[in-house]
Structure 1
Amino acid sequence: MSNNSPIPSSFGCPCGKSPGDCSKQSYPNANTTESAPAGPAGPQSNTPTPTTSGPSLPDSDAGPQKKSFGSLEAQLPETDPADEILENARAIDHDHAFALVSGGHDSLTAAHYTYMESAVDLNGYLHLDTGIGVPETEDFVEKRADDLGIPLYIAGERRHEDEYSQRVEVYGFPGSNKTSHKYEWICNKDRPLQNFLQQFDGDVLLISGATREESDARWENVNANGIEKKNGHYYAAPLASWTPSEVRAYRRDNGLPMNPVSEILEHSGDCMCGAYADRRELGWLHAEYPHMFAYIQSLEARVIDAARNGDLKDEKYERFVLWAHGDISDRELDQKHSNKQMTLCRACEDVEEANLSVGTDDPITLTEAALQLDDDELPDSPTLFRDAFDVTQAIPDDNDSPIETLRRGYEALDEVATRLGYDDHKEMIREKASNSEP
């Protein structure tokens, strides 16, 4: 792509239309019932230093469960109750056991139930660092582990080229299709998990918060007995038979706190990759987690400049320069995947079924607004958008957590604003901006 045309019309707005032609759209959903395996094993992660009696719920209704298929009803095997699943899991010959905890309601409930029932001797909680998660979610998981006095382990080791920030500058942001979502799951969750598990000799048992009742995809992917073996390790889903109301009842009866991120975003926020996302989430991030908003806007600036300079892997990826763009065409068709089931991306399954509108009437990020300007309004620079909108440029390249660095920066800004008599930095900026208006 020539640098003489700063804003090619092929990527002027979230849906890929030229500037001024975009209107709010609803995109069809895709069923994510497949999944993919880990790619080649990356370097082994170092074992992190650990940060340092609930009642059983009623079993599911007696009798066979039924699932309707049009005019037909299939008699399906009854899903095993939680205590039976855990008893069967304990009987499995395993050497280590971890509870997978994303920060969402189900995974935290399953981990707490397993711990309180003492059915499985847990080595600790295991949280996957996706590289694109709201850091407050990891903080919340750490507090819940501390409440029980159980170690927390973080798995986030992946190859440099698998880092989210690196991949979007090659392929653009993922869209609303199962191919893109599958590749995000592989790089963001599965490869760090497999790298973590490679440290251990013998079989590992992983406790999952998956329930069969939460979506059609989970009904198909979670076994009725709640136990399966993948990549040589066992997964047990003690809540396989629980309904969302039963999960809420357990949390209420046991006084389990809610993740504030989940209450705002309606998912744990552990992975904000943008696949099947609603772009309006950026407005919520801007209001509640400005450091996360600033990071995503910075990534948009990088991707836009990559597209302007012809650095994306394919010209067709120029449509994918905005986070949660909602395009339903495939992004990584040249990537190799297989059929492994995904059990760690509940939020995306929920969004697929929600048929959310991802188009917006007004730009949400400054990068999106700048894309709608005429070419002659912008200087011809290969780093135009990064220079204007990428706040991560001031962060050293060897920094392992730019999002956390941004969070500390915003916290410091809030502290300064408080000392000056403002509620927070946003109030201070609004007043300064209004005073500077002619």
Structure 2
Amino acid sequence: MSSRNRRTANAADMFPGMPDLLPKAPPKAEDGEHVARTLDEAIGRSNEILDVALAAHPIVGTYWLSSGGNDSAIVGHLLRGRYDAVLHVNTGTGIPATTQYVTDVAAAWGDTLHELHPKNRYEDLVLGKVIAGSGPNAGWRPIWKGFPGPAGHKVMYRQLKNEPLMRFRRETLGDQTRLPRADRKKIVYLGGMRWGESEKRFRNAEAIDPDGSIVWVSPLVHWTDAHMREYRARHRCQQDHEHAEHRLCFDGALPLNEVTEHIHMSGECLCGAYAKPGELDEIEFFYPEVAARLKALEVEAEQAGVKYCRWGQRNGDSEAAVPAGRLCSSCVAIPGQDDLIDQWRDTGLITPEQHAAFTRPAA
């Protein structure tokens, strides 16, 4: 049994209203943080985390980062009225139905939505058309070429997700370089990281993580899987009827992105850096137009002489892969921390031989 499964093995035994906690204290948990909580106590702590972040920093805006995933939905639902607007990074690689879901939920809740787009297109990155603008390769060498494997995840994260968020920060705050540090304003990005979702998160996630002019806040960081299930059961429509779109059947209903029911992930980014075996076939079954777009890019890459011209194909040495950012909850961590791939093996999704192929360095 994987370490993650050992931590959550008893979660299914918890009844509604009972307290729950992770068996081990996360390394970055505050003193006194690792205590058993009922769901209502966990909700109270979530609001307290945001209160502390807002009180400790000169905040000019609080933004819910809506990926279209299930955990992200709980963040927005729980903190409705406490954020100023919704941010959704449309990476250009994902399933359009997820972006439509985010748009629909924001409209239903009366929220302002900022749909962000990367400066450089995924297709141009794959085809090697994005030339480095700084460093020793500036002006002549592509920053990446080919479909990404583990080593390309960091590049894809920076280009497709991080860059739009950093640009939004700059546009929101303006140039603060001439201001004294004490007078510089900050914004809050609300995300759905939890200690219990993966071994990587267990080691690295923090409730409040200031980073320059951004304060990353993870209000659900202390929630267990049982807390998440109980919250969904409490707020998502369970009636035996024809559900409204996204299960917004009543005021205050917790929305559901139908994409997550089909492919068990939000589908907002399909860069393929850590694609699991058969993932493109699964995408094609439910969203053939998305798979067709990726396959057309494969053909274009092959015709252009790109070496790594297959989506989900390993590109580069996996030993170069490093943690890429806060918004890729299902991506694999650095070598030796490949907990997602371990879960695929432990649940029978891949064979031990396939697991070994994923985790050994590329030739």
TM superposition score normalised by structure 1: 0.57
Alpha carbons 2:189, 2:215 under 8 Å: kept:
yes
Alpha carbons 2:70, 2:256 under 8 Å: kept:
yes
Stretches of structure 1 lacking an aligned partner (at least 5 in a row): 1-56, 313-317, 359-438
Is structure 2 residue 163 aligned with structure 1 residue 174?
A: no
Is structure 2 residue 78 aligned with structure 1 residue 113?
A: yes
Partner in structure 1 of residue 117 of structure 2: 156
CA distance in 2 between partners of 1:240 and 1:59 (Å): 19
> 1:343-422, aligned counterparts within 5 Å?
343-349=326-332, 351-355=340-344, 357=350
* Residues 219/59 of structure 1: CA separation in 2 closer, same or farther (3 Å cut): farther
Alpha carbons 2:20, 2:227 under 8 Å: kept:
no
Return the offset for 1:205.
0.9
Is structure 2 residue 210 aligned with structure 1 residue 210?
A: no
2:157 is aligned, of 177, 185, 189, to 185
Letter in 1 for 2:310: L
CA distance in 1 between partners of 2:271 and 2:26 (Å): 34
* Residues 330/344 of structure 1: CA separation in 2 closer, same or farther (3 Å cut): same
Partner in structure 2 of residue 329 of structure 1: 317
Partner in structure 2 of residue 268 of structure 1: 266
Letter in 1 for 2:189: L
CA distance in 1 between partners of 2:49 and 2:271 (Å): 32
Return the offset for 1:277.
0.6
CA distance in 2 between partners of 1:229 and 1:68 (Å): 19
1:250 is aligned, of 227, 231, 239, to 231
Return the offset for 1:60.
6.3
* Residues 351/260 of structure 1: CA separation in 2 closer, same or farther (3 Å cut): farther
CA distance in 2 between partners of 1:188 and 1:353 (Å): 26
Return the offset for 1:221.
2.1
CA distance in 1 between partners of 2:221 and 2:161 (Å): 21
Alpha carbons 2:191, 2:218 under 8 Å: kept:
yes
Stretches of structure 2 lacking an aligned partner (at least 5 in a row): 1-15, 35-41, 129-144, 174-184, 237-253, 333-338, 352-363
Alpha carbons 1:65, 1:76 under 8 Å: kept:
no
* Residues 240/110 of structure 1: CA separation in 2 closer, same or farther (3 Å cut): same
Return the offset for 1:78.
2.4
Return the offset for 1:284.
2.2
Partner in structure 1 of residue 69 of structure 2: 104
Alignment partner of 2:304: what SS?
helix
Return the offset for 1:168.
0.9
Alpha carbons 1:251, 1:257 under 8 Å: kept:
no
Decide which structure has the larger Cα Rg and report it: 1
Higher relative contact order (CA 8 A, sep 6+): 1
CA distance in 2 between partners of 1:212 and 1:278 (Å): 23
CA distance in 1 between partners of 2:19 and 2:303 (Å): 54
* Residues 348/341 of structure 1: CA separation in 2 closer, same or farther (3 Å cut): closer
Alpha carbons 1:156, 1:193 under 8 Å: kept:
no
Return the offset for 1:244.
2.3
Return the offset for 1:192.
0.9
Alpha carbons 2:59, 2:186 under 8 Å: kept:
yes
Q: What is the aligned residue count? A: 273
Partner in structure 1 of residue 102 of structure 2: 141
Offset from partner CA, 1:135-178 (integer Å, 9 cap, x none): 100111112112211111111141xxx32101111211111x2x
Alpha carbons 2:85, 2:114 under 8 Å: kept:
yes
Return the offset for 1:90.
3.0
Alpha carbons 1:157, 1:195 under 8 Å: kept:
no
Return the offset for 1:328.
6.5
Return the offset for 1:346.
0.6
CA distance in 2 between partners of 1:60 and 1:94 (Å): 33
CA distance in 2 between partners of 1:341 and 1:293 (Å): 25
TM superposition score normalised by structure 2: 0.67
Partner in structure 2 of residue 165 of structure 1: 123
Is structure 2 residue 219 aligned with structure 1 residue 235?
A: no
Partner in structure 2 of residue 315 of structure 1: none
Alignment partner of 1:235: what SS?
strand
Is structure 2 residue 50 aligned with structure 1 residue 86?
A: yes
Alpha carbons 1:107, 1:208 under 8 Å: kept:
yes
Partner in structure 2 of residue 199 of structure 1: 171
Return the offset for 1:300.
0.3
Partner in structure 2 of residue 124 of structure 1: 85
CA distance in 2 between partners of 1:58 and 1:235 (Å): 29
Q: Which runs of 4+ in 1 moved over 6 A?
A: 57-60
Letter in 1 for 2:160: N
Alpha carbons 1:102, 1:268 under 8 Å: kept:
yes
Partner in structure 2 of residue 428 of structure 1: none
Return the offset for 1:59.
9.7
